[in-house]
């Protein structure tokens, strides 16, 4: 199993979520986060001065999925979240040892 953690633009989140639901992946945890990447936030010019907007609001989506579903989900997020401009976000993929569904005590992929 893998955890997919995607950080996307706020205004792309609904499109990403709806597309993931459409292709059959409803399980997700969503958090409002702040961060910056390579550009360290946007630097804005106003009246000749430079203003640094430090941390930008983004939406973080976490999903734990079977290995075989990772590529499908990554492609879906790429399609919906990409504008082509800086700040589109990032997808981090890591391994998950186990999952337990509390109601039934099922384990592993059966519990996803
Ligand atoms: N290396 C990282 N580790 C953790 N979070 C990151 C990392 N890089 C980016 N993020 C998160 O992703 C958000 C979006 O990053 P962003 O898309 O600006 O990345 P980037 O590497 O600067 O790419 P781009 O050049 O396309 O802007 C950041 O606001 C931050 O929350
Ligand atoms: Mg950036």
28-86 confidence digits (pLDDT tens): 999 999 999 987 776 767 777 776 778 899 999 999 999 999 999 999 999 999 999 99
Q: Read off the pLDDT of each residue in 17-38 and give the average, rounded to a whole number.
A: 96
How far away, in angstroms, is 81 Cα from ligand 1 center? 13
Q: Structural domain boundaries of the chain?
A: 2-111
Q: Relative to the CA of 85, which ligand 1 atom is closest?
A: 26
Task: Kindly report the pTM of this predicted structure.
Answer: 0.92
Q: Relative to the CA of 33, which ligand 1 atom is closest?
A: 31
CB-based pocket (< 6 A), ligand 1: 7, 33, 35-39, 56, 58, 86-90
If you take atom 28 of ligand 1, which residue's CA is the nearest one? 36
CATH of 2-111, one of 3.40.50.2000, 3.10.20.740, 3.30.70.120, 3.30.420.40: 3.30.70.120
- The three state secondary structure string of the chain is CEEEEEEECHHHHHHHHHHHHHCCCCCCEEEEEEECCCCCCCEEEECCEEEECCCEEEEEEEEEECHHHHHHHHHHHHHHHCCCCCCCEEEEEEECCCCECCCCCCEHHHHC
């Amino acid at each position: 199993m893998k955890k997919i953690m995607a950080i996307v633009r706020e205004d792309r989140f609904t499109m990403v979520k709806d597309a993931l639901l459409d292709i059959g992946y409803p399980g997700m945890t969503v958090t409002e986060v702040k961060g910056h990447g390579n550009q360290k936030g946007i630097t804005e010019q106003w009246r000749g001065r430079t203003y640094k907007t430090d941390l930008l609001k983004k939406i973080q989506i976490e999903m734990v999925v079977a290995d075989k579903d990772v590529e499908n989900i990554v492609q879906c997020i790429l399609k919906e979240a990409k504008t082509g401009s800086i700040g589109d976000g990032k997808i981090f993929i890591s391994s998950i040892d186990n999952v337990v569904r509390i109601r039934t005590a099922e384990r592993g992929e059966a519990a996803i």
